[in-house]
Amino acid sequence: MFLFKTTKINNTLSIFILLMLLSSCVTFRESDKGVYRNFKKEGITPQIYHENFQGKVMRYIAAKPIDNSLPTLLFVHGAPGAGENFFAYLKDEDLITKANLITVDRLGYGYSDYGNAETSIEKQAESIYAITEKYKLTNLIVVSWSFGVPIAAKMTYKYPEIKHNVMIAGAVSPEDEKFFGIAKVLRWKLTKWMFSKALKVSDKEKITHITELAKMQDDWKNIKTPITYYHGTKDRIVPYKNINFIKTNVKDSLLNAVTVKDTNHFILTKHYGMVKKELLRVIENIRE
């Protein structure tokens, strides 16, 4: 028993030290200059936009000038995170020739009112959809990951003109929300100063997430847009059980739920080819 307790304490301390090291150097954001340098290696000149949304500045990045005659892939990240989570997709030669590729820093992250948490899923959805309204984008496909998935769902419920949703490892079930005890150090007065603003924003979203998910639980049954949903069986961050919530609450005729065996939370990168293939399929279906 003593050995078990000692091991548990050592594991907790190790995680705590790792979090401190990560937070001290990782802000989960890349400056405009850094973005240009990043894409220059691929011979791409990204378009970086800073727009006002209800008094808050939002940043979003497009792989090329936005053309409203094309379909649009709009990428929504999780927590913590930023638009850069999807840079590999924005650099993809096959995707870039067929659609607008736009990735957003959600409110509170990246260069969108950084450090100020916007815990309302509805407000997050409205702020992102405002981009599509500005450019009158009609053939819209929303691609979301983790905490970004319920935001994408709220967008689709409020704006049924969205053509398709590709959702990855979504934290969508109020009953299956997973909490990590180590997160408490983000709130302690003696330790919270050690952590980046991105992690603190993420924690504030986490605290309110069950309540926010419960508010929109009925929305899922009223979604009228097709959904492709992926979840890995070995996801330790957002439990695989979330896929059952999707299957229960989304109409069968609209849902393609895909179990990705022996895969963790990072389907976005580990199964890039699978996700890309689905995006190309959806784009072609819209253009027909």
pLDDT of residue 178: 67
pLDDT in tens, 29-59: 899 999 999 999 899 999 999 999 999 999 9
- CATH label of the domain that carries residue 203: 3.40.50.1820
Lowest mean pLDDT among 32-36, 87-91, 177-181, 235-239: 177-181
b/e per residue 217-232 (b: at least 16 CB within 10 A): eebbeebebbbbbbbb
Mean pLDDT score of the chain, rounded to an integer? 88
Residue 238 in contact with residue 213, Cβ under 8 Å? no
Q: What is the DSSP string of 45-91?
A: --EEEEEEETTEEEEEEESS---TTS-EEEEE--SS--GGGGHHHHT
The total of structural domains in the chain comes to 1
Give the pLDDT score at 11: 53
Task: Using DSSP, state whether 255 is helix, strand or coil.
Answer: strand
Q: Please give the residue range of the domain that contains residue 263.
A: 2-287
What is the model's pLDDT at position 217? 92
Q: What is the pLDDT of residue 268?
A: 94
Give the per-residue pLDDT at 253: 97
Q: Which two tokens stand for residue 172?
A: 């969508």
Q: What is the pLDDT of residues 239-288, one digit of tens each?
A: 999 999 999 999 999 999 999 999 999 999 999 999 999 999 999 998 76
Q: Which two tokens stand for residue 257?
A: 């739920």
Q: Which of 3-7, 45-49, 86-90, 216-220 has the weakest average pLDDT?
A: 3-7
Q: What is the pLDDT of residue 40?
A: 94
Structure tokens at 213: 């998910």
With a cut of 50, say whether residue 1 has pLDDT above it: no
On the question of pLDDT at 197 being above 90, the answer is: no
Share of the chain above pLDDT 90, in %: 76
pLDDT at 45: 96
Mean pLDDT in residue range 14-23: 50
